Amino acid sequence: MMMRHSKKIQLSLCFALLLAAAACNRNAANNTTGTAGAGVRVTDVTLGRSVGSDKSITDRTETFKPNDTFYASVATDGAAPNATLRAKWSFEDGQLVDESTRAIAPNGLERTEFHISKPDGWPVGKYKLEVFLNDQSAGTKTLEVRGS
Amino acid sequence: MGIFDGFKKKDEKPKADFSNVQSGSSTTSAAPASASPLPFPGPATGTSGAEQSYTVVAGDSLSKIAKRFYGDANKWPRIHEANRDQIKNPDLIHPGQKLRIPGA
């Protein structure tokens, strides 16, 4: 009888330990998500034909005409004394169109715009924009140029 | 096999020419305090005064890059000065070179 009772106690203890371990794991996961938000991060990338003085897109589109200027507005949140945003534009099979970098020292919500134009017009086809924050990919957008 | 090779060659599209693409950027963010000082007088503050970097692509020249960033091809010596460590001959730059572009 005593043996059966102590086994029950042992089982209960094991169950309690398992529950405690699971709770710890959940806390660890939550902490990881929390720290990912620290520093600075890209929260949004939008494309369009023009930007306003706040560097947000005023004429949003992902379909352009050959003579349009492509604008990308990159929203960041967080603070950092020194961060780097890079916009890499490529054409169809990965041919590099342009790559430019901007050093920023964000403090809260900020926007950075990148734009590219081609005086003799863009070739029709699909393009890709990849945005990097401190050399880590932070988002991609596809756009298309259709004949006018 | 030769027949297929012929088809492949026929289907291959010529590469598009992006050597004259013009680019720029601006931001609501302040420039990092660690940005190197401007080698030429320029606006000390403002969103367009920060140093930028640019990766050379095929067909580029310093004057083309100056035109792109400053709107004036004659300002190419500004870029040359900022990149003396890697540009010995201003007529010779190579695709893939990463240049410092001083603020306008």
Whether A32 and A43 map to the same domain: the answer is no
Whether A63 and A125 map to the same domain: the answer is yes
**Looking at residue A101, which CATH number applies to its domain?**
2.60.40.10
User: Mind telling me how many Å the CA of B88 is from chain A's nearest CA?
Assistant: 23
The rounded percent of chain B whose pLDDT value lies above 70 is: 69
Taking the alpha carbons at both ends of chain A, their separation in whole angstroms is 89
Q: Could you give phi then psi for residue B102, rounded to 5 degrees?
A: -60, 155
H helices of A82-144, in order, are: none
Beta carbons of B27 and A101 less than 8 Å apart: no
User: What confidence category does residue A45 fall into, taking pLDDT thresholds of 50, 70 and 90?
Assistant: very high
DSSP class per residue in B5-61: HHHHHHHPPPPP--TT-EEEEEESSBPPTTSPPPSS---SSSTT-S-EEEE--TT--
Mean pLDDT of A67-71: 95
Whether A65 and A48 map to the same domain: the answer is yes
Mean pLDDT of A96-110: 91
Q: How many CA atoms lie within 13 A of B97 on its CB side?
A: 23
On chain B, the residues whose CB falls within 8 A of the CB of A81 are 32-34
Mean pLDDT of A63-86: 94
Whether A78 and A10 map to the same domain: the answer is no
Whether A67 and A15 map to the same domain: the answer is no
Kindly state whether A54 is in contact with chain B, defined as any CB-CB distance less than 8 angstroms.
yes
Whether A81 and A140 map to the same domain: the answer is yes
Whether A53 and A66 map to the same domain: the answer is yes
Whether A47 and A85 map to the same domain: the answer is yes
Whether A129 and A68 map to the same domain: the answer is yes
Whether A25 and A44 map to the same domain: the answer is no
Structural domain that includes position A10 = 1-36
Q: Which domains does chain B have, with CATH numbers?
A: 50-104 (3.10.350.10)
Kindly state whether A123 is in contact with chain B, defined as any CB-CB distance less than 8 angstroms.
yes
Entry pTM: 0.58
Provide the domain count of chain A. 2
Residue A32: the pLDDT is: 26
Higher-pLDDT residue of B72 and B20 is: B20
ipTM of the complex: 0.71
Instruction: Give the highest mean pLDDT range of A107-116, B9-18, B75-84.
Output: A107-116
Whether A54 and A114 map to the same domain: the answer is yes
Other CB atoms within 10 Å distance of the CB of residue A45: 19
Kindly state whether A10 is in contact with chain B, defined as any CB-CB distance less than 8 angstroms.
no
Whether A77 and A101 map to the same domain: the answer is yes
Kindly state whether A126 is in contact with chain B, defined as any CB-CB distance less than 8 angstroms.
no
On chain B, the residues whose CB falls within 8 A of the CB of A120 are 20
